[in-house]
Amino acid sequence: MDLRLENKVAVITGGSAGIGEAIARGLAAEGTHLVLCARDEQRLRAVAESIAGVRVLTVPADLAEPGDAERVAAAVEREFGGADILINNAGTGSEEKILTAPDSRWQHYWELHVMAAVRLARAIAPQMKARGGGVILHNASICATQPLGYEPIYNVTKAALVMFSKCLAGELIGDNIRVNAVNPGLVMTGDWVKTAKALTAGTDQTWEQYLQNIAEENAPIGRFATPEEVADFFVFLCSERAAYSVGSTYYVDGGWLKVTT
């Protein structure tokens, strides 16, 4: 299937690892040029150097900082004359109690998960409009609908990201810019491995066994997804093959979601 993504320009936040890196590689395989953003400049460069056949621009940025979205957009304009695709992927899990988490913690995740997407839309959507249209995708989480009890701030901010995605879709579809969200379930990323190793240290259980138990308890498919499996869905949504997909939220969760939406 020809996805017709050759020579498009995609901005991917959180592009140095996990799902973001997998999306970058998937788009590069389709001939899409890349702008990769993340805080770790060294890791960004390593990913960029390992991708061949397309142009890759790296922009070290902390998108929880208000000024960095404009800086990313300016770099895209200078290097490529604008973007056709924006993947808002940057984010991380949390762990806290509502009654004890300070305002500063709530604000940090609000800036990272919601305001980063708002600011990048303001900065990059005009570029897309000038180029005749584009695609904006938000990597949210199944936790936006089916929350995990130990991370209320993550749950709330991801739910807000999904609603922002829906509102943005209605505002931009007249400019031929399609906006959608993706809610992944269990995905085998470095964060999950790090957590599992910490929780099983000094016990008789291996970190692999811990994660397998989580998969069997929660996902009917009985395993974690690979980042590449989730990335393939993102790549499809970027393409003309998904031209009628607008303002929706898609679950890639191995059957974990317990309600209909």
* Contact of 225 with 186, CB cutoff 8 Å: yes
Choosing from 154, 210, 250, 251, the catalytic residue is 154
* Contact of 153 with 165, CB cutoff 8 Å: no
Residue 154 is a catalytic residue: yes
* Contact of 250 with 182, CB cutoff 8 Å: yes
Instruction: Give 36's contacts (C-beta < 8 A, 6+ positions apart).
Output: 12, 15, 16, 20, 24, 44, 47, 48, 56, 57, 58, 59
* Contact of 138 with 117, CB cutoff 8 Å: yes
Rg value, the chain, Cα: 18
* Contact of 181 with 250, CB cutoff 8 Å: yes
* Contact of 127 with 82, CB cutoff 8 Å: yes
* Angle of the 190-200 helix axis to the 207-218 helix axis, nearest 10: 110
Nearest to 113 by CA among 78, 163, 72: 163
Catalytic residues: 154
